[in-house]
Chain A
Amino acid sequence: MMKEYLEKLGKTAERFVDSTGQMAMMLAQAAMYAFLPPVKFRNIFKQMDFVGVQSLFVVVLTGSFTGMVLALQSFNALKRFGAESLVGPTVALSMARELGPVLTGLMVTGRAGSAMATELGTMRVTEQIDALVTMAVNPIKYLVVPRVLAGILMFPVLTIITDFVGVIGGYMIGVRLLGINPGVYIGRTIDFVQVDDIVTGLTKSIVFGLITTLVASYHGFYATGGAEGVGRAATSSVVLGSVLILVSDYLMSSFML
């Protein structure tokens, strides 16, 4: 019984080390091929559209409702100390430093990460990736590099949009619904929020963009086992991508505070 358990544990550890190594190799190769000509701008723009433009609706929705609920909750808490005027900075700081990048990361992982893993997984099991290799086209350069670049470039843009609509949502609730003076709301927000706060959030979003696209590409690229394997790749990419976003967010927050 004990032996079986240890064997299972050992195999899990081996798989973990194996896949971490493979993912690191993929990242190293993608980094190398990203700078080697020819650069396929068309593929990069296509992925930027997919990761960025097509995620707009979901991040606007998430950002605005998060800003609104933050304003409601912080008003309720701050009222007890007579500090309602701090609702604006509370919403803006939370959005810029944490919720903007993290929620954008999680939402885009759910939307674009799963779709990426599914697309690449389907290409793997239907031998389209092998076909690329036989045509002397490097599949990491052709498929992975544009996706990872799109993630790194578009996540900060989406995060800025999430932050912005979050702040607007907070303003609408704080000023229009809860009656905070608009001058105080805006003035306090400007007083408290610094460029560093926004830069911190954007730095995180670049890392999240890399995590999401790399994890999705990895799971899709090495998918095995037909349709079931493709489904597994999509699920794994969302679960691992989300977990890594949350863990790396904590680590980065502890360094950047």
Chain B
Amino acid sequence: MIKIINLKKSFGTKKVLDGVNLEIDRGKITVIIGRSGEGKSVLIKHIIGLLRPDEGSIFLDDLEISSMREREFNEVRRRFGMLFQGAALFDSMTVAENVGFPLKEHTDLNEEDILKVVREKLKRVGLVGVEDMMPADLSGGMKKRVGLARAIVMDPEIVLFDEPTTGLDPIMSDSIADLVLDTQRVLKTTYILITHDIPFTYKIADKIAMLHEGRIIEQGSVEEMKANPDPVVRQFLEGRAEGPIKVY
């Protein structure tokens, strides 16, 4: 569904992506893992057009989206939803206004119908009766849930997740994993996640791709990655300080 070909991106003299090649399958959960600062967020931001590549291309089906003009890209973006690391909820709006925001901007639904959809999406992420709360009054886990409700409110084909479990306790991380699985199974949406949370990755991934030194060095199913002999992959998946990946 999404094909990333030889994607390169530098910021000043720092080369962040150095020829990423990756295929994302339709209706599957693809998890991109890698150390902090390896460029996972940069990669995901290229997919949704928040950043543009120096070289290489990204195809969505047959459309080359990486070279699209902003206005054309906005049409493509309606096929996406995105959950940000800190949820990126609008501080000045209530939960209901946040979740209903894309509907208000892009559909002709009236307030009542929007609220109906908002309640349904909030229920799907396990939240009831929070419509009038402000983001500042929510816990970290609730913010992520509201962020997910907003990301799926337009029933997108593809949902991107930027570090969905960062800052959450293990139990909350596990409940987010359940939520990811539940919401994905209903509509068979394509989910792309970036994380360095290995237990979370093992629980949800159909495919794991490891980003290291600006490239995807290995990819495969959970079982294939668990059996992967590559010392870099082994060190990362086992969470060891000793190994070929330098700690600095």
A-to-B contact residues, CB < 8 Å: 122-123, 126-128, 130-131, 133-138
Contacts and interface: CB of A to CB of B under 8 A. Distances in A.
Contact of B105 (A126, A130, A135): A135
Contact of A127 (B86, B101, B106): B86
A115 to B, nearest CB: 12
B50 to A, nearest CB: 5
Contact of A136 (B45, B50, B86, B106): B106
B86 A134 contact: no
Contacts of B32: none
A136 B74 contact: yes
A138 B78 CA distance: 13
Contact of A131 (B49, B82, B106): B82
Interface residues of B, number: 23
Contact of B84 (A122, A130, A136, A137): A130
Nearest to A127: B88
Contacts of B86: 126-127
Interface centre among A122, A135, A137, A138 (most CB of B within 10 A): A135
A130 B50 contact: yes
Contact of A134 (B50, B75, B85, B90): B50
A127 B89 CA distance: 9
Given A133-B50, A136-B106, 13 more contacts: A123-B91, A126-B91, A128-B91, A130-B84, A130-B88, A131-B88, A134-B82, A135-B77, A135-B102, A135-B105, A136-B75, A136-B105, A137-B105
Contacts of B45: 130
A244 B80 CA distance: 42
Contacts of B58: none
A136 B82 contact: no
